[in-house]
Structure 1
Amino acid sequence: MTTRTTLSTEPPTEGSEQGPAVPRRPGESTAVLPAATLTPAAAGEWLLDAAESTVEFTSAVLGGSMPAHGRFEKLAGRVLVEPDGQVAAKVTVDTTSVATRIPTMTMHLRTAGLLAVKRHPSAEFELDDLVVHGSSAEIRGRLTALGVTREVALNATGGLDGPELFRLEGEALLHRSEFGLRWNVLKMVPEDVRLDVRLVFVKAGSDRRTPDA
């Protein structure tokens, strides 16, 4: 699901150079931060604080009269920011950790006709591009779920919270049929699913997990 960096409230400058490609680990992609959003504190490796991060989804079942809410309780992620502003990022969701307020709904979501968690126990978002607009940004990347990869865009806000914490909040609208989720008895389930993410990253090597730690 995403990963991006709004590291200042200044607008990006035009005509900035991207520089050479940054070495990356397998499965990661790169994007470039505009010069105006890059600060010395941003460079380095950032690891997802799963205890402080959430990935939630909402579907307006029965036309919105019975909205279905859920979340994934196990997450992992990594962001690498190079000194020249190039970024590699990846977030992984453990789909077996899906949970709702209704136990029967939770079990139903895990079945082969929906999230098929036994066959597809994880979903991954890999960053491709950042479009910065002052203190907000559009995050573009590839979401792989149920063995299908689709391009996804998230509208997000966030930034550095001191030298060792980075926070991001964003949302995206997913079309479930694009990932093979076509189960829809009596047409009760709409096509669109809203995804809400709140991600907290901690600078690698830091002992600090939250602002109050």
Structure 2
Amino acid sequence: MVKWQIDPAHSSIGFEVKHMMVSKVKGQFTNYSADIEADDLADLTSANIDITIDATSITTNNDDRDNHLKSAEFFDIEQFPDIKFKSTSFTKDGDDYKVSGDLTIKDVTKPVVLDVEYGGKGTNPWGVEVYGFEGKAKIDREQFGLTWNAALETGGVLVGKDIKIKLELELNPAQ
């Protein structure tokens, strides 16, 4: 098995959630790492993937909201600084995959399926082979203990229950 790493300069891990039931708030995590082993990334079916996201690196371009998300009312980063995903199985569909795995947020682990699109491979200007993938999933934040909310005077709630997760990853051989 070959070890692979995320190229953080060409990757992102982000999310979006409904705000006031009418618009979306988008954010991202700026610090993350992965332990990935696969014989060939063009065929993930034999891969092992462990991704660790530093929850303290959350940013939504609003300091007050970011601090609230880091607080005990949401991610409780003092007690749970990491979000983790560990793959358990892969289903190939043409060039794309369903990647099943265990997602852990705030010490709560639930199964999640990522819809992963294989973007292809290429060779960078330094002769290193790179692979691209885009992954998407939707989770119910309340199942992970992210239950804070506020009722709106006009009905509904401030923060939506469903979180859309999006990963855009460029991988290259680990050094």
Tell me, yes or no, whether TM beats 0.5.
yes
8 Å contact kept, 2:85–2:103: yes
What does residue range 3-42 of structure 1 map to in structure 2 within 5 Å? none
Q: Pick the aligned partner of 2:34 from 60, 77, 83.
A: 77
Higher strand share: 2
Q: Which runs of 4+ in 1 moved over 2 A?
A: none
Partner of 2:136: 171
Deviations 1:105-126 (A, max 9, x none): 1111111110111111111100
Q: Tell me by how many angstroms 1:200 deviates.
A: 1.3
Deviations 1:125-170 (A, max 9, x none): 0011111110211111000110110000011101541362111101
Q: For 1:131 and 1:120, how far apart are their aligned partners in 2?
A: 31
Equivalent in 44, 55, 71 of residue 2 of structure 2? 44
1:103 counterpart residue number? 63
Give SS of 1:130's match: strand
**Number of corresponding residues:** 162
- Displacement of 1:66 in angstroms is 3.1
Match for residue 14 of structure 2 among 56, 60, 69: 56
What does residue 151 of structure 1 align with?
Answer: 111
Secondary structure of the equivalent of 1:115? coil
Q: Residue 204 of structure 1: CA displacement?
A: 2.2
- Identical-residue share of aligned pairs (%): 25
User: TM-score, structure 2 length as denominator?
Assistant: 0.86
Contact kept, 8 Å, 2:14 with 2:28, in 1: the verdict is yes
186, 195, 200: which one aligns with 2:165: 195
Once superposed, what is the RMSD of the aligned Cα atoms? 1.7
In the other structure, the counterpart of 1:185 is 150
Where does residue 94 of structure 2 map in the other structure? 134
Q: What is the SS of the residue equivalent to 1:143?
A: strand
Separation (CA, whole Å) in 1 of partners of 2:33 and 2:89 = 20
Cα separation, 1, equivalents of 2:23 and 2:17: 9
Query: Structure 1-normalised TM-score?
Result: 0.72
For the residues of structure 1 that align with 2:13 and 2:142, how far apart are their CA atoms? 20
